[in-house]
Amino acid sequence: MDLKLIAAFSLFPVLAFAQAPPWKDRPVLDTAASPQAILHGVPVSAVTVRDGFWSPRRKVNVEVSLPSLLALFEENGIIDNFRRVSGRKDVPRRGPLYTDSDVYKWLEAVAFVLQSGDNPQLRKSAEAVIDDIAAAQEPSGYLNTYFTREHLAERHTNMVGGHELYCAGHLVQGGIAWYRATGDRKLLETGVRLADYVAREFGPGKQPIFEGHPEFELAMIELYRTTGDRKYLDLAGYFLGGDPRNVAKARERDIVYLFTIKPFTERTHLEGHAVRAMYASSGAADYYLETGDKAYWHTLATLWDDMVQRKMYITGGVGSRADGEAFGDPYELPNRQAYTESCAAIGTMFWNWRMFQATGDAKYMDSFERALYNGANSGLSLSGNLYCYRNPLELTGDPKDRIRNPWYDTTCCPPNLQRILASLPGYFYSTSKDGLWVHLFDNNSLNWKLEDGTAIQVSQTTKYPWDGKLELTVSPASAKEFTLHLRRPSWAGSVHVSVAGAAVAAPALEKGYLTVRRTWKPGDKVVVQFDMTPRLVVSNELIRDNIGKVAVERGPLVYCMESLDQPKGTSVFDWRLDSPAGKDSFIFTWKPESLGGVVTLTHHATRPAKPASGQPLYEVKSHAAGQASIQGEVTLVPYYAFHNREITAMQVWIPTR
């Protein structure tokens, strides 16, 4: 495609950009002007994550995951798909019809990496990919490597499974992140041209369309925030509201189809494809943040309760059914069959973050943290080059259970994991009119400003999540009165807080955040101690798989047993945890050499002895003599680290005696 021709078609709203705050000061989700947002994010670049829990994960993301995924894209023809459309290469199209989206997500991840600091090698690789993408755009603005040439006639005909708008949304999100990282608009302008194509062709008074796989509305609302052009918000509203011309037809169709067509506000519970449901809910929350439409909030709150009260795994994973990659019925949360796609756990984080912007309620950040440390974190191996698509809570250890793989034809999860890790600094803090909020804990420094423009630096020092002590140094440019809001995780029992050396006997708590309002002076210290006693957790008895079992948590981490840590010759399935724990029932040990450094837990347990010969398989309960048992000790490791040593049996939910 002739680049000059593309430039001529650009409808890029230069003026709106000229009025916006500097591109590099934009957070992951830019709610600065969103009427319903009481919280406002800080840019990724404002937070430097120092050595601690997340730094090795983020390092391996930059050094291994991102370069190796690009190499795999090349090997599998995914970038060639763009070169084919632009005429740069004469090759057949490869991969499923949504592969463009994976490249866009990869670019978004690289953009977040660059927001933390330049990386010339990654930047150059990404620039070349952007060039290949832009060259593949049609003069109309249309861009999709599948619905062209031999598939041209299918364009806009397969909206259930076609993913055209899903890919378009990821292009726009990638373009926004790249612009915010570099100031370069090339990818964003490509996305704008595609968005404008959609806006020109479809909507009220034009052709009806629906999305199939939600994602476009998320992108359109962030594009509205980026450009100030209301048409993108309205377009998102059109998709979320459902075109009545489609809705009439859809009422007769199957549920997944229906869900992507009917008005979002008609949903009463979570069902159907989990990632689609999470992205739709995230987009709807964005729409609420901009419009304040109460019907949206009502639906969002109803769906969120449905998720956390009936349909979420303890790991923060969602979507229990492989069939349709879907939500199950209430309490249908089997462990071994759990589908729990990495993208679905990540989708909960996107949704929670948006709900949180509107409320400042810690319950959303608690849920965000649960997925972050467990059901999403498990998705990337410690080595950085193996990914989980599914994140089950139980594995048999059969070699067929190879759950971590370098490549999937449907490779949605790897770049999703990459963009979460790369953007993570952007989720640590927020500002509000009255002060500063601290959501996540790790060694890091914030260099940003309060909403009245006062420069502020905050430094966190902690061994979290291995230890519950946080030390914060709060340094406004000069003495300043404001409120510091610090999340008190819902799992934290007793919490001790001291400010500037003085213990705070009963710290104020608002919606799960400890709040301290005072005149802060440069260098003021806040010390917080969360109780990290391991917790035995039982589930609602309606979850059939978990009856008679417990799970173990410590801090934000869910633990699991792997057979290779258990007494020689035994499997995780042999053991029952001995009677519910008091304070000292678990021994916890810092093992720097194990799994990249983890705290392991050990606990007394019992297993049945080998039955005496002739012992019947079944006996009437009242006559049964009982079986001899053997005492032992079992070891647990954090769930996110499962299958990082070898394929072995694993379980989160452990029978108790």
Binding site for ligand FUB (CB under 6 A): 98, 163, 213, 275, 325, 341, 343, 410, 412
Q: Which one, of 37, 29, 39, lies nearest residue 218 by Cα?
A: 29
Site for Zn ion in 374-413 (CB under 5 A): 412-413
Task: Decide whether 280 or 470 has the Cβ nearer to ligand FUB.
Answer: 280
Q: Which one, of 83, 93, 49, 117, lies nearest residue 421 by Cα?
A: 49
Decide which of ligand FUB, Zn ion, none touches 229; Cβ closer than 5 to 8 Å per partner kind.
none
Please answer whether residues 440 and 369 qualify as being in contact, where contact means their C-beta atoms are separated by less than 8 angstroms: yes
d(CA 26, CA 30): 6
Task: Decide whether 410 or 585 has the Cβ nearer to Zn ion.
Answer: 410
Decide which of Zn ion, ligand FUB, none touches 380; Cβ closer than 5 to 8 Å per partner kind.
none
Decide which of Zn ion, ligand FUB, none touches 552; Cβ closer than 5 to 8 Å per partner kind.
none
Minimum Å gap between C-beta 273 and ligand FUB is: 6
d(CA 643, CA 426): 29
Locate all alpha helices (DSSP H) within 136-185, ordered by sequence.
164-182
Name the token pair of 55.
């730094």
Task: Decide whether 341 or 545 has the Cβ nearer to ligand FUB.
Answer: 341
Decide which of ligand FUB, Zn ion, none touches 98; Cβ closer than 5 to 8 Å per partner kind.
ligand FUB
Task: Decide whether 109 or 412 has the Cβ nearer to ligand FUB.
Answer: 412
d(CA 568, CA 57): 31
Site for Zn ion in 581-640 (CB under 5 A): none
Q: Which one, of 390, 298, 307, lies nearest residue 348 by Cα?
A: 307
Minimum Å gap between C-beta 161 and ligand FUB is: 8
Decide which of ligand FUB, Zn ion, none touches 199; Cβ closer than 5 to 8 Å per partner kind.
none
Strand ranges inside 453-494, DSSP E: 455-462, 469-476, 480-487
Decide which of ligand FUB, Zn ion, none touches 290; Cβ closer than 5 to 8 Å per partner kind.
none
Decide which of Zn ion, ligand FUB, none touches 470; Cβ closer than 5 to 8 Å per partner kind.
none
Minimum Å gap between C-beta 348 and ligand FUB is: 13
Residues touching Zn ion, count (CB under 5 A): 4
- Cα 642 to chain center, whole Å? 19
Find all residues with CB under 8 Å of 653, minimum gap 6, and list them: 335, 393, 394, 539, 545, 546, 549, 550, 551
Q: What are phi and psi of 644, to 5 degrees?
A: -105, 0
Residue 305: count other Cβ atoms within 10 Å of its Cβ.
12
Coil vs helix vs strand at 202: strand
Decide which of ligand FUB, Zn ion, none touches 300; Cβ closer than 5 to 8 Å per partner kind.
none
Decide which of Zn ion, ligand FUB, none touches 390; Cβ closer than 5 to 8 Å per partner kind.
none
Find all residues with CB under 8 Å of 534, minimum gap 6, and list them: 552, 553, 554, 559, 581, 585, 586, 588, 601
Minimum Å gap between C-beta 102 and ligand FUB is: 9
d(CA 220, CA 175): 12
Task: Decide whether 265 or 342 has the Cβ nearer to ligand FUB.
Answer: 342
Which single residue brings its beta carbon nearest to Zn ion? 343
Site for Zn ion in 330-369 (CB under 5 A): 341, 343
Q: How far is CA 585 from CA 228, 308, 563, 634, 644, in A?
A: 57, 29, 21, 12, 27
Strand ranges inside 20-118, DSSP E: 40-41, 47-49
Task: Decide whether 286 or 290 has the Cβ nearer to ligand FUB.
Answer: 286
Coil vs helix vs strand at 558: strand
Decide which of ligand FUB, Zn ion, none touches 333; Cβ closer than 5 to 8 Å per partner kind.
none
Q: What are phi and psi of 405, to 5 degrees?
A: -135, 150
Minimum Å gap between C-beta 218 and ligand FUB is: 12
Is there binding between residue 274 and Zn ion (CB under 5 A)? no
Task: Decide whether 214 or 360 has the Cβ nearer to ligand FUB.
Answer: 214
Minimum Å gap between C-beta 352 and ligand FUB is: 18
Minimum Å gap between C-beta 609 and Zn ion is: 44
Task: Decide whether 347 or 556 has the Cβ nearer to Zn ion.
Answer: 347
Decide which of ligand FUB, Zn ion, none touches 213; Cβ closer than 5 to 8 Å per partner kind.
ligand FUB
Any idea what DSSP says for residue 375? I
Task: Decide whether 162 or 203 has the Cβ nearer to ligand FUB.
Answer: 162
Task: Decide whether 389 or 448 has the Cβ nearer to ligand FUB.
Answer: 389
Coil vs helix vs strand at 245: helix
Task: Decide whether 10 or 410 has the Cβ nearer to ligand FUB.
Answer: 410
Site for Zn ion in 413-432 (CB under 5 A): 413
Which single residue brings its beta carbon nearest to ligand FUB? 275
Minimum Å gap between C-beta 170 and ligand FUB is: 10
d(CA 269, CA 328): 11
Decide which of Zn ion, ligand FUB, none touches 97; Cβ closer than 5 to 8 Å per partner kind.
none
Minimum Å gap between C-beta 412 and ligand FUB is: 4
d(CA 311, CA 308): 6
Task: Decide whether 319 or 489 has the Cβ nearer to ligand FUB.
Answer: 319
Q: How far is CA 322 from CA 248, 327, 389, 400, in A?
A: 29, 9, 11, 16
Task: Decide whether 278 or 412 has the Cβ nearer to Zn ion.
Answer: 412
Locate all alpha helices (DSSP H) within 360-453, ordered by sequence.
362-370, 413-423
d(CA 25, CA 80): 34
d(CA 636, CA 603): 8
d(CA 150, CA 97): 13
Amino acid at the residue 345: A
Task: Decide whether 347 or 426 has the Cβ nearer to ligand FUB.
Answer: 347
Decide which of Zn ion, ligand FUB, none touches 370; Cβ closer than 5 to 8 Å per partner kind.
none
Minimum Å gap between C-beta 342 and Zn ion is: 5
Task: Decide whether 239 or 441 has the Cβ nearer to ligand FUB.
Answer: 239
Minimum Å gap between C-beta 275 and ligand FUB is: 4
Coil vs helix vs strand at 28: coil
For residue 330, whether the previous peptide bond is cis, meaning omega lies within 30 degrees of 0, is no
Side-chain-side CA neighbours of 328 within 13 Å: the count stands at 21
Find all residues with CB under 8 Å of 290, minimum gap 6, and list them: 34, 35, 36, 221, 224, 225, 233
Minimum Å gap between C-beta 274 and ligand FUB is: 7
Minimum Å gap between C-beta 103 and ligand FUB is: 13
Decide which of ligand FUB, Zn ion, none touches 325; Cβ closer than 5 to 8 Å per partner kind.
ligand FUB
Minimum Å gap between C-beta 146 and ligand FUB is: 13
Decide which of ligand FUB, Zn ion, none touches 83; Cβ closer than 5 to 8 Å per partner kind.
none
Residues near Zn ion (CB under 5 A): 341, 343, 412-413
